[in-house]
Copies of this chain bind each other. A is one copy, B any other.
Amino acid sequence: MDYLNKDNLNTVKIIDKSDYPTKGQKPSKITKDIVELLRSLDIQDGAVLSFHHHLRNGDKVLNLIMKEVQALGIKDVTLVASSLFPAHSELIPLLKDGTIKNIVTSYISGPLGEAISHGELKGHIIMQSHGGRARSILNGDINIDVAFITSPSSDDKGNISGVNGINSCGSLGYAIADSMMAKKVVAVTDSLMPYPNYPADITEDYVDHILLVDSIGLKSGIVSGTTMITKDPIGLKIAKDTLKVMEATGLLKDGMSYQSGAGGISLAVTSFLRDYMIENNIKGSFASGGITGFLTDMLEEGLFDCLYDVQCFDLQAIESLKKNANHLRMSGSQYGNPEVSAVVDNLDIVILGATEIDTDFNVNVTTGSHGLLMGGSGGHQDTAAGSKISIIVSKLFSSRIPLIKDKVDVITTPGSTVDVLVTERGICVNPLREDLISKFKEAKLNVIDIKDLKGYSERIMGKAKNIEKTDRIIGLSEYRDGSIIDYIYEVKK
Contact = CB atoms under 8 A, between A and B. Distances in A.
A6 to B, nearest CB: 8
A285 interface: yes
3 smallest CB-CB distances across A and B, nearest first, come from A20-B416, A205-B340, A9-B473
A196 B305 CA distance: 9
A35 to B, nearest CB: 24
Interface of A: 1, 3-4, 6, 8-10, 12-15, 17, 19-23, 25-26, 29, 78, 102, 104, 123-124, 126, 136, 141-142, 157-158, 194-196, 198-199, 203-207, 255, 285-286, 305-306, 308, 325-326, 328, 330-331, 333-334, 337, 340-343, 345-346, 360, 385, 387, 414-417, 419, 473-476, 479, 481, 483-487
27 contacts: A1-B136, A4-B78, A4-B102, A4-B104, A6-B124, A9-B474, A12-B473, A12-B476, A12-B484, A14-B487, A15-B483, A15-B484, A17-B360, A17-B414, A19-B483, A20-B415, A20-B417, A22-B416, A194-B285, A195-B285, A196-B305, A196-B308, A196-B343, A196-B346, A198-B328, A203-B334, A205-B334
B475 A204 contact: no
Copies of this chain, count: 2
Residue from A124, A205, A286, A325 with most neighbouring chain B CB atoms (10 Å): A205
Q: Taking each of A194, A341, A416, which has the highest tally of chain B beta carbons within 10 Å of its own beta carbon?
A: A341
B205 A341 contact: yes
B486 A14 contact: yes
Contacts of A328: 196, 198-199
Contacts of A330: 203
Contacts of A14: 484-487
Given A9-B487, A126-B4, A203-B330, A23 B416 contact: yes
B341 A15 contact: no
A231 B417 CA distance: 67
Contacts of A415: 20
A474 B78 CA distance: 51
Nearest to A385: B21
A86 to B, nearest CB: 25
B475 A417 contact: no
Contact of A104 (B1, B255, B484): B1
Given A3-B484, A4-B123, A9-B476, 18 more contacts: A1-B104, A3-B124, A3-B476, A8-B473, A9-B474, A14-B484, A15-B479, A15-B484, A17-B414, A21-B414, A23-B416, A158-B341, A196-B285, A198-B328, A199-B325, A203-B334, A204-B341, A204-B342
Contacts of A325: 199, 325
A79 B1 CA distance: 13
A21 B123 contact: no
Contacts of A10: 473
A266 to B, nearest CB: 20
A9 B207 CA distance: 36
A217 B328 CA distance: 29
Nearest to A489: B9
A208 to B, nearest CB: 8
A459 to B, nearest CB: 28
Nearest to A326: B198
A334 B417 CA distance: 40
A198 B306 contact: yes
Contact of A13 (B9, B306, B484): B484
Contacts of A6: 124
Nearest to A17: B360
A305 B159 CA distance: 15
Contacts of A142: 1
Nearest to A486: B14
Contacts of A157: 341, 345-346
Contacts of A123: 4
Contacts of A136: 1
A51 to B, nearest CB: 17
Contacts of A4: 78, 102, 104, 123-124, 126
A463 B199 CA distance: 52
A255 B124 contact: no
